[in-house]
Amino acid sequence: MGEVDPAFIQEPEHRPKLCFSEAEGIPMIDLSPSREKDPCALDRLVREIGSACKEWGFFQVINHGVPLDHRHKVEAAAREFFGESTQEKNKVRRDAVKVLGYYDTEHTKNVRDWKEVFDFSVEEPTLVPSSLDPHHHDLTHWHNQWPHYPPPLRDVCQEYAKDMVKLALELMELIALSLGLPQKRFQEFFKDQTSFIRLNHYPPCPSPDLALGVGRHKDAGVLTILAQDDVGGLEVKRKSDGEWVRVRPTPNAYIINVGDIIQVWSNEAYESVEHRVMVNSQKERFSIPFFLNPSHYTMVEPLEELVNEKNPAKYKAYNWGKFFVTRKRSNFMKLDVENIQIYHFKV
Ligand code: OGA
Ligand code: NI
């Protein structure tokens, strides 16, 4: 990526401010009580998680149980992979059929992102609908495309995926408790999950005032667990005043954010929050989000325990598989229309 192609340029109202404020108050949560036997400490943790989901939709966690060497190995492999020649990376390039692998032309809201990515799914293969048509019920398998270089990439990614699923399910148990639900309430949705992991590389950009690493968006899935390096660039739209604030990198912590599906399941008790990534002219940046997604056959709708006459369901049920493949397609191609969003299912 050389000079800035017009495809990357954001509309003036979406351009980042180069002088930014760092977020004060994004909650930092210590997860150790979730593995200890002290019911009072667990209760406090559940309340902390609940208020972070409500007030921010974003929080960081420490003492999360993910082995640091697993994270370091994936970070090192990602750095090596993106350092390979374009020709080498293109050997695992995604296309309209093979949707996992390497690509550098993702669009968010139809503006190109200043980044290159490598996607792989947690379940191998991952089962999804083969067509966007709501009347078609055929399924297809998504297969990962593993590069030959660097050789350890496959193993370290698969090991890390297991760590991510474990942490995500633990977080979902805490979120369930915080909503007054049984601890395992969400478990059934993650059999045959469509979760995936993305290795992100944001190269230095000559015009960080015009382009974004990822344009403003909300994550469509259940929950995201993000590892970011020490460069910084993630900005969150603060709920209290709508300001864009930067999430300060904390070594070895993970950033957690509520996705659209939690917003629907909780009938908007918890809302997903808009975020974006700034790039900078000096330093490249790496990040690794894990996107927790349910099975393709999940019908996403407000949980019946959380709706009643006074608080009726705010969304109609929608099929996750169809939603997901529609979204994947629109991020891949520049379209004339806005991509699918949960508000299309608003009652
Ligand atoms: C995303 C995202 C943030 C980052 O990929 O959805 O928000 O810091 N990434 O890379
Ligand atoms: Ni995101």
Q: How far is the CA of 276 from the centre of ligand 2 (A)?
A: 7
pLDDT for res 273: 96
Residue 221 alpha carbon to ligand 2 centre in Å: 10
Of the listed ligands, the closest to the CA of 113 is: 1
What residues contact 312, with CB distance under 8 A and at least 6 apart? 347
Task: Say what angle helices 39-55 and 153-178 make with each other, to 10 degrees.
Answer: 100
Model pLDDT, residue 335: 62
Which atom of ligand 1 is found nearest the CA of 202?
10
Using the atom order of ligand 1, give the atom closest to the CA of residue 213: 10
- Determine contact, residues 260/340, Cβ cutoff 8 Å: no
CA 223 to CA 1: how far, in whole Å?
Answer: 31
User: What angle separates helix 153-178 from helix 68-83, to the nearest 10 degrees?
Assistant: 130
Q: How, if at all, do strands 21-22 and 244-246 pair?
A: parallel
Q: What is the per-residue pLDDT for 23? A: 60
- C-beta separation of 264 from 315 below 8 A: yes
Tell which one of 275, 291, 293, 331 to mutate to probe ligand 1, the residue whose CB is within 8 A of the most ligand atoms: 275
Q: What pLDDT is stored for residue 329 in this prediction? A: 76
Token digits for 305?
């325990």
- 69 vs 95: CA distance, rounded Å: 32
Atom of ligand 1 minimally distant from the CA of 198:
5
- 3-class secondary structure per residue, the chain: CCCCCHHHCCCHHHCCCCCCEECCCCCEEECHHHHCCCHHHHHHHHHHHHHHHHHCCEEEEECCCCCHHHHHHHHHHHHHHHHCCHHHHHCCECCCCCCCEEECCCEECCEECCCEEEEEECCCCEEEECCCCCCCCCEEEECCCCCCCCCCHHHHHHHHHHHHHHHHHHHHHHHHHHCCCCCCCCHHHHCCECCEEEEEEECCCCCCCCCCCEEEECCCCCEEEEEECCCCCEEEECCCCCCEEECCCCCCCEEEEECHHHHHHCCCCCCCCCEEECCCCCCCEEEEEEEECCECCCEECCCHHHCCCCCCCCECCEEHHHHHHHHHHHHHCCCCCCCCCHHHHEC
Q: How far away, in angstroms, is 135 Cα from ligand 2 center?
A: 30
User: What is the pLDDT at residue 1?
Assistant: 47
For tokens 């909503």, what's the residue? 179
**How many residues make up the chain in this entry?**
347
d(CA 37, ligand 2 centre) in Å: 34
Q: Within the chain, which residues score under 70 in pLDDT?
A: 1-3, 20-25, 330-338
Q: How far apart are CA 199 and CA 180, in angstroms?
A: 35
Q: State how far the Cα of 18 lies from the Cα of 21, in Å rounded to an integer.
A: 10
Nearest ligand 1 atom to alpha carbon 291? 6
Ligand 1 shell residues, CB under 6 Å: 198, 200, 214, 219, 226, 228, 234, 275, 277, 287, 289
Distance separating alpha carbons of residues 278 and 234, to the nearest angstrom: 6
Residue for token pair 């979120």: 175
Task: Provide the pLDDT for residue 207.
Answer: 92
What is d(CA 18, CA 220) in angstroms, rounded to the nearest whole number? Answer: 28
What pLDDT shows up at residue 198? 98
The residue type found at 267 is N
- How much distance in Å is there from the Cα of 29 to the middle of ligand 1? 20
